[in-house]
Amino acid sequence: MRKFIIDTDTASDDAVALIMAHYWQDVEVVAVTIVNGNVPVEQGVKNALYTLDVCNASTPVYVGCAKPMLRESSYADWFHGKDGMGNMYYPEPKSKPQSAHATDAIIDTIKKYPGEITLVTLGPLTNIATALLKAPEIASLVQRCVIMGGAANTVGNVTPAAEYNIWVDPEAAKIVFHSGMAMEMVGWELSRHDAALTPAEVENVMNFGTARARLAMECNKTALDVSMKMQGAVGLTLADPVAIAVALDPNMITRQGKYYVDVEITSELTRGATVVDELGVLHRQPNINVVWTINVHRWKEVLYLCLQ
C-alpha cells in the first residue's frame, strides 16, 4: 500500500479529492492535515471530518496553521460557499480532530515512514513550509510531493497572474519550492476546458446513487455556478481532484518536465505567480517537475471509479 498524507484547506473540491484517495485500492491515507485557506481552519477541519464520515473512514485529522505566514487571511467563500461546501451546511461530524498540531504530525509521519510518503497538498503551503522550517531534513525523506498549486505560464484564477493556493501564502510556497523535495506542480489550468465536468457529467455522477457521489456533486453546486458564470468554463472545474488523480495514477500525465520554478513575493500585481523557466533562460537548477498536460479521459475515469 502506498502511504499518503493529504494537506488540505477542505472545501468542496478538496472533499472530492479526499473521497477519491480513500477509495483507491492501493492507497492508505495515514493522515489528513488541515490548513487555513478556502475557509478558516476550524471550518476546514469540520468539512474534512464530515467527508470522512461519509467515507466510513477513521483517518486521523490534524489541525494546522490558522493564518498565512506573513499575510492576512483571504478566503474563497465566493467560490465554495460560506461553509466551503456549497452552502449545504452539513451536520456536525461524528469524530474529533487529533490533539497534535498538523505540522508536528507531518514531521513525525514522514520520519516514521522514510522514503514511503506521498505528500499531496491541496491548499496553501503554510503547514508544509512551517514543517520544513522546523525539520528541514524531512524534504529528502518524502518519496513524492504532488502540489495542487500554481499556473504554468498561463492565467491565474484569483488574479491574472496567480492561482489561489500560492497567492494566499506566497512566502510559504517559496520555501517549499526551494526545499529540495521531489515535487510535482499540478497547476489549476489542468482542470479547465475539456477536464471540467459538464452539467450532464455532473448529473451522471449524481445518478451513481452512492452517498459519496451525492456529496461530491452537491457540495460543488456553487463552484459549478461560479466556474461557468465567472470563469467561462464549460462546467465544474475540479483542481484538487485532478491533482489527487495525478497522485493516484501518474500514468495519466501526458507531458511533464523538470524546470526551475520560483514564486513572486514582492509585487502586488503578480503576487503568488509561479514563474516557470520553460526555456531555461535563467540557467538555474531545475527544482520542480511541472505537469503540462494530462489524459482527460483517464482523469474522469479515475474520478468515476472512486465515486461509484
CA atoms within 13 A of residue 275's CA, in its CB half-sphere? 13
pLDDT, residue 304, reads 98
Q: Over pLDDT 90: what percentage of the chain?
A: 98
Contact 237, 192 (CB under 8 A): yes
Span 251-274, pLDDT tens digits: 999 999 999 999 999 999 999 999
Which residues are CB-contacts of 135 (< 8 A; sequence separation ≥ 6)?
107, 111
pLDDT, residue 231, reads 87
Span 15-37, pLDDT tens digits: 999 999 999 999 999 999 999 99
Q: Over pLDDT 70: what percentage of the chain?
A: 100
Strands 61-63, 144-148: pairing kind: unpaired
Which residues are CB-contacts of 78 (< 8 A; sequence separation ≥ 6)?
226
Q: How confident is the model at residue 285 (pLDDT cuts 50, 70, 90)?
A: very high
Span 85-99, pLDDT tens digits: 999 999 999 999 999
Q: How confident is the model at residue 297 (pLDDT cuts 50, 70, 90)?
A: very high
Cell of 78: 465566493
pLDDT above 90: residue 68: yes
Q: How confident is the model at residue 6 (pLDDT cuts 50, 70, 90)?
A: very high
pLDDT above 90: residue 207: yes
What count of other Cβ atoms lies within 10 Å of the Cβ of residue 144? 18
Cell of 117: 510518503
Strands 274-276, 261-263: pairing kind: antiparallel
Residue position matching grid coordinates 452552502? 87
List the Cα angle 73/77/79 in 5-degree steps: 120
For the chain, what is the mean pLDDT?
Answer: 97
Contact 132, 176 (CB under 8 A): yes
Residue type, position 263, single letter: V
Is 82 buried (19+), middle (13-18) or exposed (0-12) by CB count in 10 A? Answer: middle
Q: How confident is the model at residue 250 (pLDDT cuts 50, 70, 90)?
A: very high
pLDDT above 90: residue 230: no
pLDDT, residue 232, reads 87
Span 115-157, pLDDT tens digits: 999 999 999 999 999 999 999 999 999 999 999 999 999 999 9
pLDDT above 90: residue 12: yes
Give me the DSSP letters along the chain. Answer: -EEEEEEE--SHHHHHHHHHHHT-TTEEEEEEEE-SSSS-HHHHHHHHHHHHHHTT----EEE--SS-SSSPP---HHHH-TTSSTT--PPPPSS---SSBHHHHHHHHHHHSTTTEEEEE-S-SHHHHHHHHH-GGGGGG-SEEEEE---SSS--SSSSS--HHHHHSHHHHHHHHTS---EEEE-GGGGSGGGSBPHHHHHHHHTT--HHHHHHHHTTHHHHHHHHHTS--SSB--HHHHHHHHHH-GGGEEEEEEE-EEE--S-SSSTT-EEE-TT-TT-----EEEEEEE-HHHHHHHHHHHH-
Between the CA of residue 307 and those of 90, 162, 183, 186, what are the distances in Å? 19, 31, 27, 22
- Domains: count for the chain: 1
Residues serving a catalytic function are: 9
pLDDT above 90: residue 280: yes
CATH of the domain at 147: 3.90.245.10
Q: How confident is the model at residue 192 (pLDDT cuts 50, 70, 90)?
A: very high
pLDDT above 90: residue 172: yes
- CA atoms of 264 and 205, how far apart (whole Å): 38
Contact 143, 181 (CB under 8 A): no
pLDDT above 90: residue 160: yes
Domain limits at 32? 2-307
- CA atoms of 257 and 254, how far apart (whole Å): 10
